[in-house]
Copies of this chain bind each other. A is one copy, B any other.
Amino acid sequence: MQRPSGRAPADLRAITLTRNFTCHAEGSVLVDFGATRVICTASVEAGVPRFLRGSGSGWVTAEYGMLPRSTGSRMDREAARGKQGGRTLEIQRLIGRSLRSAVDLKKLGEFTITVDCDVIQADGGTRTAAITGACVALVDALNHLQRKKLLTTDPLRQMVAAVSVGVFQGVPVLDLDYREDARADTDMNVVMGEDGGFIEVQGTAEGKPFQRAEMDAMLDLAVAGIGRLFQLQKEALAG
Interface residues of A (CB under 8 A from B): 22-25, 28, 35, 37, 39, 41, 43, 45, 63, 65, 67-74, 77-80, 82-90, 92-93, 97, 101, 114, 116, 118, 120-122, 188, 192-193, 195-205, 208-212, 215, 219
Contact A200 B198 (CB under 8 A): no
11 A-B pairs within 8 Å (CB atoms) are namely A25-B69, A28-B69, A41-B69, A68-B114, A79-B84, A79-B88, A86-B89, A89-B90, A118-B120, A195-B209, A198-B203
Contact A86 B78 (CB under 8 A): no
Q: Closest residue to A210 on the B side, CB-wise? A: B198
Choice from B24, B205, B212 contacting A200 with Cβ under 8 Å: B205
Task: Determine the distance from Cα of A145 to Cα of B210 in the docked complex, in whole angstroms.
Answer: 30
Choice from B39, B65, B121, B201 contacting A79 with Cβ under 8 Å: B65
Contact B63 A68 (CB under 8 A): yes
Choice from B24, B25, B89, B116 contacting A89 with Cβ under 8 Å: B89
Chain B residues whose CB sits within 8 angstroms of the CB of A201 once the complex forms: 188, 201-203, 215
Q: Closest residue to A192 on the B side, CB-wise? A: B209
